[in-house]
Amino acid sequence: MEHFTIATVAEKSPDFRRVLWTGEHSQLVIMTIPPGGEIGEEVHEDIDQILTFVSGTGEARVAGEKREVVSGDLVVVPAGTKHNFVNTGPNPLVLYTVYGPPEHADQAVHHTKEEADAAEAAGEDEPPTA
């Protein structure tokens, strides 16, 4: 059994992205977006994503709509939907997200967005089912 006190685990991670668990059909990832930072506009063609916000304030940009997000909010991004999440506050925007199916390499840790983008560009962040 895998067990996480997810808000505590997410709050303690300074990393932009850290894969906590990867299964055959889904994946659990925690993210910390620095003030002024963002995930980056993207589309996952065949992957649904559910994001739950633990702390901080930000803006969800999903399918052309914008909405403020705060601690306790949950946003669903269906496969094929353009999206981005931007930190609009003075503190880190901390969240955890579930991908179905997995999106990233098992146990991947990217300390910064730049590191994450470089790993993706180099083909080093492929899910195990790819």
> Where along the chain do its domains lie?
15-122
The residue among 117, 120, 65, 71 whose CA lies nearest residue 92 is 71
Task: Give residue 53's pLDDT.
Answer: 98
pLDDT confidence tier of residue 130, bands split at 50, 70 and 90: low
- Which residue bears the tokens 């601690």? 71
The per-residue pLDDT for range 77-113, each reduced to its tens digit, is 999 999 999 999 999 999 999 999 999 999 999 999 9
Q: Per CATH, which fold does 15-122 belong to? A: Jelly Rolls (2.60.120)
Question: For residue 21, what are its two tokens?
Answer: 């668990």
The per-residue pLDDT for range 11-21, each reduced to its tens digit, is 999 999 999 99
Q: How far apart are alpha carbons 89 and 58 in whole angstroms?
A: 6
pTM: 0.94
The residue among 57, 55, 51 whose CA lies nearest residue 88 is 57
Q: How far apart are alpha carbons 104 and 85 in whole angstroms?
A: 18
Percent of the chain with pLDDT over 70: 98
The residue among 90, 84, 41 whose CA lies nearest residue 60 is 84
The per-residue pLDDT for range 40-82, each reduced to its tens digit, is 999 999 999 999 999 999 999 999 999 999 999 999 999 999 9
DSSP secondary structure string, 56-94? SEEEEEETTEEEEEETT-EEEE-TT--EEEEE-SSS-EE
Q: How far apart are alpha carbons 106 and 5 in whole angstroms?
A: 20
Task: Give residue 129's pLDDT.
Answer: 67
